[in-house]
Amino acid sequence: MLGGLGATIRGVFVSPDGQWVGFFDGNSLLKKVAITGGPPVTIARTDGNGPRGATWGPDGTIVYATDGTSTGLQRVSAAGGDPTVLTKPNRERGEADHLWPEFLPGTQAVLFTISAATGGLDNAQIAVYDLETGTSKVLVRGGHHAHYVPTGHLVYGAGGTLRAVAFDRDRLEVAGTPVPVLEQVVTSVGGAVDVAFAANGTMVYVPSRGSAGAARSLVWVDRMGREEQVPAPLRAYSFPRISPDGTRVALAVMDQEQDIWIWDFARETLRRFTFDPGTDQYPLWSPDSRRLIFASTRVGGSNLFWQAADGTGAMEQLTEGPNLLLAVAMTPDGNRIIVREVGQQDDLMLVPLQPPRRPQPLVQTMFGERNAEIAPDGRWLAYESNESGREEIYVRPFPDVSGGRWQVSTGGGRMPLWSRNGQELFYGSPDGALMGVRMEPGSSWSSSTPARILQGQFVYSGFGRAFDIAPDGRRFLMIKEGGGNEAAPQNLVVVLNWLEELKRLVPAN
């Protein structure tokens, strides 16, 4: 058993000789640890917040991908060093990112997925990158997260199913027609398929329960940890934002449609707010609860739009630019928004809502600053930064952010959230718990020692805040995997000698 790895371990992969385990920690570091145990060894610092696949090649290098959309595949020596960018998504061709790399055995080539700026996973493509020539080509359209298996097939996800197609490894070309081989496999919003194959022919996968593969429920949780189920249908909820008047919550539903929806607490209705085939996410309410701002890929890239929350009137584009822009906070007067600009290093920008709406740097350093929140009185800006080597919560005065800086969290922190009265600041800890501090009176920033408010039992996200607080401050709206307290346990299915069945279903010759 490997010990001493810390609380957050993601994207685990194994070296070709089976002697090392590679993984990403919660602080954007790529690490490895010997299979026999011992302390983890840092290989490199990565861009982005989360891993999107890694593969360890026989030449002693690792090819990996992250959620940083300015880069695609990257390569680094397993012994450590500076990463090299291999690919970048081509925005003109509608590419959003390059994900889920996997070395093809016996070659200097890597399979990967090209995610689409619009159309979700239906428009994803499987491609191969040749490390010797530095070129890539598309193999399959409408597929994602491909694996090569010893029978001479590519097995990949498409429409919630598993498909297979014969593959010529020497010519790096598919050779035949794809065939569905397994129905209803759990697939993440980013296209990762929960399936793995062993060289002896064994397959293991996680079956989806109809459309519930990414299904989540909404729950109210009070400060004692008591839960109350919200009677909303199970959906792939993300980024809940309660309206300032407390009557509704806007959420990104990251299924095949990837739209913004609004749940009305009194009417107990879920209404679709956006309808474009692009990805719509990160809703943000205006202070009067009458408008919603959100990020969308509907015109290429990811820019900001807004519209009346009741769906009336025209939708208006607020920003134009090549980088991913996410609105994370609005000033109490409703005149400006704080925008997270996702690039090689994330920065915080200030955008006036009156034309010409030119983004202005707010907190811009060599480190990554994300998920900012403005205090209700407009005096303080809370945000997360990795300047110490891991994400921590910091506070600066606002709007004069150069007037001071204080670290609030002490053991790692993400996704700050102010209470509606501005007297408390909450954040997520690396182990998934909800932490909180109380402001102490004074002209300068001062707060109490961080205290644990809730244990880690709900969905947390390193990319954006995945919880919100009720206007009265007594309970939190959380996202929970599955159907809440009555959720059925997830199963693992193991199939022996599955590769023999694959050869029968999809002849390679």
Note whether 90 and 149 are same-domain residues. Answer: yes
Comparing C-alpha atoms, which of 140, 142, 141, 165 is closest to residue 153? 165
What tokens does 40 get? 């983890």
Residue 4 domain-assigned (yes or no)? no
Residue 3 domain-assigned (yes or no)? no
Residue 322 domain-assigned (yes or no)? yes
- Report the chain's mean pLDDT, rounded to a whole number: 88
Note whether 272 and 327 are same-domain residues. Answer: yes
> For the chain, how many residues are written?
509
- pLDDT at 5 (0 to 100): 47
Residue 163 domain-assigned (yes or no)? yes
Please, which residues have CB within 8 angstroms of residue 200's CB and are 6 or more apart in sequence? none
Whether residue 441 has a cis bond before it, omega within 30° of 0 = no
Note whether 222 and 314 are same-domain residues. Answer: yes
- pLDDT at 420 (0 to 100): 95
Instruction: Kindly list the distances between the CA atom of residue 407 and the CA atoms of 48, 392, 396, 450, in Å, as whole numbers in the listed order.
Output: 21, 7, 9, 11
Comparing C-alpha atoms, which of 287, 162, 271, 154 is closest to residue 213? 162
Note whether 296 and 444 are same-domain residues. Answer: yes
pLDDT per position as a tens digit, 457-483: 676 665 689 899 999 999 999 998 765
CB atoms within 10 A of CB 343: 15
Classify residue 220 as exposed, middle or buried by CB count within 10 Å of its CB (0-12, 13-18, 19+). Answer: middle
Note whether 264 and 204 are same-domain residues. Answer: no
- H/E/C letters for each residue in 429-473? CCCCCEEEEEECCCCCCCECCCEEEECCCCCCCCCCCCEEECCCC
Tens of pLDDT along the chain (509 residues)?
454 444 467 889 999 999 999 998 866 789 999 999 889 999 998 876 678 999 999 999 999 998 777 789 999 999 999 999 999 998 788 888 899 999 999 899 999 999 987 667 778 999 999 999 999 999 999 999 999 999 999 999 988 789 999 999 999 999 988 988 888 788 877 788 989 998 888 999 888 754 434 578 999 999 999 999 999 998 889 899 999 999 999 999 877 677 999 999 999 999 999 988 777 889 999 999 999 999 987 876 678 999 999 999 999 999 987 677 889 999 999 999 999 887 656 799 999 999 989 889 999 998 889 899 999 999 999 999 988 878 899 999 999 999 999 999 998 898 999 999 999 999 998 778 899 999 988 778 999 999 999 987 676 665 689 899 999 999 999 998 765 444 445 678 888 889 988 988 888 76
- pLDDT at 10 (0 to 100): 81
Residue 2 domain-assigned (yes or no)? no
Note whether 199 and 220 are same-domain residues. Answer: no
Residue 402 domain-assigned (yes or no)? yes
Residue 322's domain spans which residues? Answer: 212-486
Cβ(89)–Cβ(72) under 8 Å?
A: yes
Note whether 330 and 368 are same-domain residues. Answer: yes
Note whether 304 and 417 are same-domain residues. Answer: yes
Note whether 468 and 357 are same-domain residues. Answer: yes
**Structural domain tally of the chain?**
2
Residue 48 domain-assigned (yes or no)? yes
- pLDDT at 230 (0 to 100): 96
- pLDDT at 119 (0 to 100): 67
CA–CA gap between residue 200 and residue 497 (Å, rounded):
7
Note whether 22 and 85 are same-domain residues. Answer: yes
- pLDDT at 120 (0 to 100): 72
- Domain holding 181: CATH number? 2.120.10.30
Note whether 341 and 331 are same-domain residues. Answer: yes
Note whether 121 and 268 are same-domain residues. Answer: no
- pLDDT at 457 (0 to 100): 67
- pLDDT at 11 (0 to 100): 86
- H/E/C letters for each residue in 378-440? CCEEEEEECCCCCCEEEEEECCCHHHCCEECCCCCCEEEEECCCCCEEEEECCCCCEEEEEEC
Residue 392 domain-assigned (yes or no)? yes
